[in-house]
């Protein structure tokens, strides 16, 4: 016995409403997901975040008291940006990440953000790390991560002595220790103020 037309329509409408509700939930989840990770200052596309995980917070690195620890990563290699995002999003501090492909993009982000730490590659197109260093005032603590040999770094103008230089391949435990030390100093300074 076939169901009546009304029963079929009713069944269809129930499924339709369920699918519509689930679709709305999925859209809200995706909207939240995409708002939490930014690459080059823009909402990330799914292909951009294949290796990244969802950070547990929103934030714009504006420097407000409630803002999470914020890291600006300046790196032209997209694979390394994904590797940074994957590793740093697994840290217990769950930093807010801003990713830039070169010094120009980084300087643009710094007009709107106040990161706690800047991770800087030296060898990049457009505006390299050396030129970027010249244009960075006292925005944040800086760590240089590079594959360049020390002699080449010196030949190109060097890096200020107070800026740590880490060699590629990236030592994430060493980078994490630097970030945790800065976060602790920041928390201690905030509690004293």
Q: Are residues 26 and 57 in the same domain?
A: no
* pLDDT (0 to 100) of residue 9: 57
Tens digit of pLDDT at every position of the chain (193 positions): 566 656 665 665 666 566 666 666 665 665 555 555 555 555 554 434 333 433 333 345 655 555 588 999 999 999 999 999 999 999 988 899 999 999 999 999 988 888 999 999 999 988 889 999 988 866 689 999 999 999 999 999 999 999 999 999 999 999 999 999 988 887 765 555 5
Specify whether 77 is located in the same domain as 104: yes
Q: Which two tokens stand for residue 125?
A: 């197109």
Whether 22 and 87 share a structural domain: no
Residue 85 contacts residue 52 (beta carbons within 8 Å): yes
- Cβ atoms within 10 Å, residue 85: 23
Rounded Cα–Cα distance for residues 23 and 147 (Å): 46
Task: Verify that 81 and 159 share a domain, yes or no.
Answer: yes
Q: CB-based contacts of 65: which residues, under 8 Å, 6+ apart?
A: 190
pLDDT at 111: 87
Kindly state whether residues 103 and 65 are assigned to the same domain.
yes
pLDDT of residue 56: 33
Domain range enclosing 32: 5-36
Rounded to whole angstroms, how far apart are CA atoms 103 and 122? 9
Q: How many domains does the chain have?
A: 2
User: Residue 100's beta-bridge partner residues?
Assistant: 74
Shared domain for 181 and 117, answered yes or no, is yes
Residue 177's pLDDT is 94
């Amino acid at each position: 016995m076939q169901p009546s037309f009304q029963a079929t329509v009713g069944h269809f409408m129930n499924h339709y409403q369920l699918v519509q509700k689930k679709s709305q939930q999925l859209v809200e989840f995706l909207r939240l997901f995409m708002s939490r990770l930014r690459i080059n200052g823009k909402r990330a596309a799914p292909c951009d975040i294949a290796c990244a995980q969802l950070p547990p917070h929103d934030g714009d690195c504006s420097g407000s008291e409630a803002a999470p620890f914020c890291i600006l990563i300046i790196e032209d290699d997209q694979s390394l940006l994904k590797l940074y995002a994957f590793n740093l999003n697994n840290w217990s501090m769950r930093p807010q990440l801003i990713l830039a492909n070169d010094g120009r993009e980084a300087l643009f982000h710094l007009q709107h953000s106040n990161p706690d730490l800047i991770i800087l590659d030296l060898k990049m197109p457009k505006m390299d790390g050396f030129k970027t260093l010249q244009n960075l005032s006292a925005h944040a603590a800086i760590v240089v991560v590079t594959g360049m040999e020390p002699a080449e770094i010196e030949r190109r103008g060097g890096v200020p002595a107070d800026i740590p230089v880490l060699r590629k391949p990236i030592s994430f435990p060493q980078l994490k220790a630097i970030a945790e030390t800065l976060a602790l100093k920041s928390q201690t300074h905030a509690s004293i103020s």
